Amino acid sequence: MRILVTGGAGFIGSAVCRYLVRETGHEVFNIDKLTYAGNPASLKAIDNDPRYHFYKADICDAAAIGAIFDEVQPDAVMHLAAESHVDRSIVGSRAFIETNVLGSHVMLEAARRRWNGLEGEAKAAFRFLHISTDEVYGSLGPDGLFTEDTPYDPSSPYSASKAASDHLAIAWHRTYGLPVVVSNCSNNYGPYHFPEKLIPLVILNALDGKPLPVYGDGSNIRDWLFVEDHARALLTILTTGRPGRTYNVGGRNERTNLQVVQTICDTLDKLRPAARPRRELITFVTDRPGHDHRYAIDATRLENELGWRAQENFDTGLEKTVRWYLENEWWWRPLRDGVYSGERLGLGAEEEKR
């Protein structure tokens, strides 16, 4: 199968590309703009594989995307490209609207043109998988889980932009018949994670003996999903999911932010002992505006209908992640030194001017 992947140089996208090429043998065509979070080094393992192809392009550029579709003639699309950091969206929402909403519109229209030109089995088999987040559902109370029927209630510019793109994707199915499937995932973690996100930030700050910032009192809860489990889930949804349907992907690993940070500290102390326990580096900081308290995914539909199961629990996945960062400084050191050094984001009170 010829699969067009957008955002394939990002964290989840690169995991998808590596999985598709190394484990399944599908031919992969990666479109990525290579913003600060897109890193070609994340694709080093497959860069020379003849089944992998890279296109540097902006998904908002309709002409460029149309030309790529004409050249590639994909059998399926996995749309992951997105601005994805909540804190950055607080001070710079415009880029999130442009990429996540307008860019998704460009992709849907290009896919619709491709699909309309197909016939017979090729047309019946074509799929557009729109990959999204559980943040579109807003915040849970102490009980309950997000299901595919949970009403949307986004809290941040990031989650609002993703909610809008989800609605576009489903509308293109209902209005035009485009065979769209949507997935909403919980928080991902694992190798090649850009160091602005919680888990890699804490790992690298702890290695450097820097403070480990925890928002508020650390009681905010997230459901954690190992990125390689997510990559497997996405291919399952692409190939066996039902058009017009949404599938939630979660790891059933709820942890408070404080528990996550403490577990990282303990894991690092075990694998690379320091002069003092790294828990002493934990620092509580002012909470993020509009910080959702709890996310938790019910993945029953994906598990029962499509047969997917997560292979990693949080403890095994986190130890694999910490070991990867300890063993792969070649990947993260250039980012840490030249792109993002660990400073707090999202503190600006006003929209950045562009």
Mean pLDDT of the residues in the chain: 94
Judge whether residue 104 has pLDDT over 60: yes
Note the pLDDT tens digit of each residue in 146-189. 999 999 999 999 999 999 999 999 999 999 999 999 999 999 99
For residues 253 and 248, give the distance between their C-alpha atoms in angstroms, rounded to a whole number: 14
* Residue 262 CA neighbour count, 13 Å, CB half: 8
pLDDT per position as a tens digit, 210-264 = 999 999 999 999 999 999 999 999 999 999 999 999 999 999 999 999 999 999 9
pLDDT digits 0-9 by tens, 262-282: 999 999 999 999 999 999 999
Distance CA 271, CA 267 (A): 6
Structural domains of the chain, with CATH: 2-194+224-255+294-314 (3.40.50.720)
Residues annotated as part of the active site: 134-135, 158
Helix (H, G, I), strand (E, B) or coil at 128: strand
* Residues found in the chain: 354
Strand 52-56: give its sheet, edge to edge: 52-56, 27-32, 2-6, 76-79, 127-133, 180-185, 246-249
Of 39-53, 121-135, 199-213, 332-346, minimum mean pLDDT range: 332-346
pLDDT at site 85 = 80
67, 70, 74, 80 alpha-carbon torsion, rounded to 10°? 20
DSSP string, 255-275: EEHHHHHHHHHHHHHHHS--S
Calculate mean pLDDT across residues 69-83: 98
Helices 103-116, 62-72: inter-axial angle, 10-degree rounding: 40
